[in-house]
Structure 1
Amino acid sequence: MLKLPPLNSLRAFEAVARLGSVSRAGDELCVTHSAVSHQLKVLEQWIGKPLFLRNARGITLTAEGQALGLTLTPCFTAIAERVDTLMTHVSKPTITVGCIPSIAARWLVPNLAQFSEMHPDIELNVQYARASQKLPLGDLDVLITLGRDEAAQVKNTAIFSRANKPVTSPAYLTRFGPIAGPADIARADLLHDEGKSGWEEWFRKAGAPAPFPLNGAVFQDFNLLATAVIAGHGVALCPTEVFREELKRGDLVILSDIATLVDQHYFIITRIPPAEPVVLFSDWFRALTAPAQ
């Protein structure tokens, strides 16, 4: 067990030894002159030796006082610096967000700076998520994906409709000509997401015969499909809610109000009960993606 003098007395002594004045030490420690003098007497009594020589002009350190002061100041400085480092580098709460590429590229990543400005004390770890991924499996705190997670311990909050409508770019219309309905779409260059069943369903919904065989390139990644349709390569079925900004800018135009997947949604999924940083992130993302009123 360490045998230490009263710490308040050591603190008062170190300040007086460093500053050379009882009054200045009192100002630094926010205590009175008499309180500092009392602590000095306590320390001298504890040690059993005088540490100061008192005279009309003030006090001066004895040899023992000088030695103790030279020991204490570096120690107090080291303690102060270490505590400051610990306080400065307190680890921030971190949340891991898994997000499917289509939403990550259009909504999450472009707006991350806004969340960081609003909540600088929260660290985000962002990962791509597969459409089949589930929140209870793995180490995600938040999952942004298509479809609900039916697990009992999670909360599903709808953010976008998955309603798919035919879209294309103005550049493609300039090259191909006007598209006024299903018959014109059937003649167009069709772009497919992973397979051709999406367009087959759309033509059934439209009550129009689908071209046979269905033409056009198949893209195994939705972001590649999006790049292709914006670049003017043809007509694609896209969730118009997800492409809200592209439609607003005029990068894409909707060719028909006939839609598939109208009863399906994208969701932000969190555990129950969610941690406070997860609530803050979820509330921010829902506000970000809410349709303008």
Structure 2
Amino acid sequence: MQSSLPPLRALQAFESFGRLGSVTAAARELGVTAGAISQQIKILEAQLKMPLIMKDGRRASLAPAARPYHELLSSGFDKLRRAQGLLAERMEDREVEISGLPTLLLKWLNPRLHRFSAPQGTVSFRLEATHVEPEAQFLNRMFRLTYGMASEMHPHRRALFHDVCFPVCSPEFLARNPDAARPENMGGLPWVDIDWGPAYAGIPRLGDWLRAQGAPLPRAKPLSVHSLSGSALEAAASGQGITLAQHSFASVDLRLGRLVRLSEAAIPMPEPYYICWASMLLENDVARAFLNWIQSEARVD
């Protein structure tokens, strides 16, 4: 048994010859001369210490003893070719896969995706809304949109924007409670809270905004508490009360008139939102174009 594998070029020349049936065809496939193919097969024969081809006049073919060896070798090269094909398909893939925090995808990314113009044709998007950060190896095929320190676990990251927060409510709620636009009155009105959980204890809430304005804190418990900012915004849009909205999440509803901004005063989020990825992902030209585009979109805000 050989202690080491023969040279890859010799194996490749032999595999191509046995599959195609001639030195000339193998040379054409591999882009070398017929003499180079013959030389590599001789190198392989010398290392294996066995004849690999036999000649019948001017015609050469696999030696009977070499056929089982070629069959196994050919199956290995076939897997290599298929692996390369899959990689090439991924590099040419016209789909962009994005994992992201649910409200970030729903309220910030979704409304602007139609503005992305892919190089050389159309592109489709696959969006996965989840709070769970994907394992690093998955970022070779998808982007991750996330917040704050969670981005540090990923191979590459870039800050997209640093958001600000302000109180909002529905037009109907404001019509019923015209004093809601005054900070000193907000603490006595129904309100909707947002709680992302203990890992995000520093995320501002309505009481933080009121404190920053020197206004009284809410005097009663919130009408409801939501783990998703998007869910809290929907509750506010339905007229349930006041909530502290992030600009990036509320901008479309404000523009459509579903929500009303109650004050120009705003407080900042503690950390930025990020886009994250792994190096291999950017070997795809569509992925590179998307990364450039989303960063330009974030600058518009």
TM range (shorter): 0.5 to 0.7
> Which residue in 1 is equivalent to 2:159?
157
Residues 95 and 217 (structure 1 numbering): CA distance in 2 closer, same or farther, change over 3 Å? Answer: same
**CA RMSD, 1 decimal:** 3.5
Q: Sequence identity, in percent?
A: 20
The DSSP-based 3-state class of the residue aligned with 2:152 is coil
Q: Does 2:187 align with 1:186?
A: yes
Q: Does 2:288 align with 1:279?
A: yes
Task: Quote the Cα distance in structure 1 between the aligned partners of 2:267 and 2:167.
Answer: 10
Task: Quote the Cα distance in structure 1 between the aligned partners of 2:289 and 2:207.
Answer: 41
- Structure number having the greater helix percentage: 2
Superposed, which structure 2 residues align to 1:1-12 within 5 Å? none
Q: CA offsets, 1:137-182, max 9 Å, x none?
A: 64463111221423583122223x3211101111111122232322
The DSSP-based 3-state class of the residue aligned with 2:265 is coil
User: Which blocks of at least 5 consecutive residues in structure 2 are unaligned?
Assistant: 1-17, 26-84, 197-202
Check whether the contact 1:135–1:269 (CA below 8 A) recurs between aligned residues: no
Check whether the contact 2:160–2:298 (CA below 8 A) recurs between aligned residues: no
Among candidates 262, 266, 289, match of residue 259 of structure 1: 266
Q: CA offsets, 1:217-262, max 9 Å, x none?
A: 1123222111111122111101113322222232222112333334
Residues 250 and 98 (structure 1 numbering): CA distance in 2 closer, same or farther, change over 3 Å? Answer: same
The DSSP-based 3-state class of the residue aligned with 1:184 is helix
Q: Indicate the larger mover: 192-201 or 207-216.
A: 192-201
TM-score w.r.t. structure 2 length?
A: 0.58
Among candidates 262, 277, 297, match of residue 288 of structure 1: 297
The count of aligned residue pairs is: 211
Residues 198 and 134 (structure 1 numbering): CA distance in 2 closer, same or farther, change over 3 Å? Answer: farther
User: Which blocks of at least 5 consecutive residues in structure 1 are unaligned?
Assistant: 8-85
Task: Quote the Cα distance in structure 1 between the aligned partners of 2:250 and 2:283.
Answer: 30
Q: CA offsets, 1:93-130, max 9 Å, x none?
A: 25431111112112333444544765646554321131
Task: Quote the Cα distance in structure 1 between the aligned partners of 2:89 and 2:291.
Answer: 24
Q: Which amino acid is 1:173 matched to?
A: L
The DSSP-based 3-state class of the residue aligned with 2:300 is coil
Task: Quote the Cα distance in structure 2 between the aligned partners of 1:237 and 1:190.
Answer: 9
Task: Quote the Cα distance in structure 2 between the aligned partners of 1:285 and 1:123.
Answer: 15
Check whether the contact 1:156–1:270 (CA below 8 A) recurs between aligned residues: no
Q: CA offsets, 1:183-219, max 9 Å, x none?
A: 2211221110127971232222222221333332112
> Which residue in 2 is equivalent to 1:222?
229
Q: Which amino acid is 2:250 matched to?
A: F
Superposed, which structure 2 residues align to 1:24-63 within 5 Å? none
Q: Which amino acid is 2:160 matched to?
A: A
The DSSP-based 3-state class of the residue aligned with 1:166 is strand
> Which residue in 2 is equivalent to 1:136?
136
Q: CA offsets, 1:45-93, max 9 Å, x none?
A: xxxxxxxxxxxxxxxxxxxxxxxxxxxxxxxxxxxxxxxxx9xx95642
The DSSP-based 3-state class of the residue aligned with 1:242 is helix
> Which residue in 2 is equivalent to 1:83?
none
Superposed, which structure 2 residues align to 1:69-84 within 5 Å? none
Check whether the contact 2:108–2:248 (CA below 8 A) recurs between aligned residues: no
Check whether the contact 1:202–1:259 (CA below 8 A) recurs between aligned residues: yes
> Which residue in 2 is equivalent to 1:211?
218
Residues 157 and 197 (structure 1 numbering): CA distance in 2 closer, same or farther, change over 3 Å? Answer: closer
TM-score w.r.t. structure 1 length?
A: 0.59
Q: Which amino acid is 1:158 matched to?
A: L
Among candidates 238, 243, 247, match of residue 236 of structure 1: 243
Check whether the contact 2:158–2:274 (CA below 8 A) recurs between aligned residues: yes
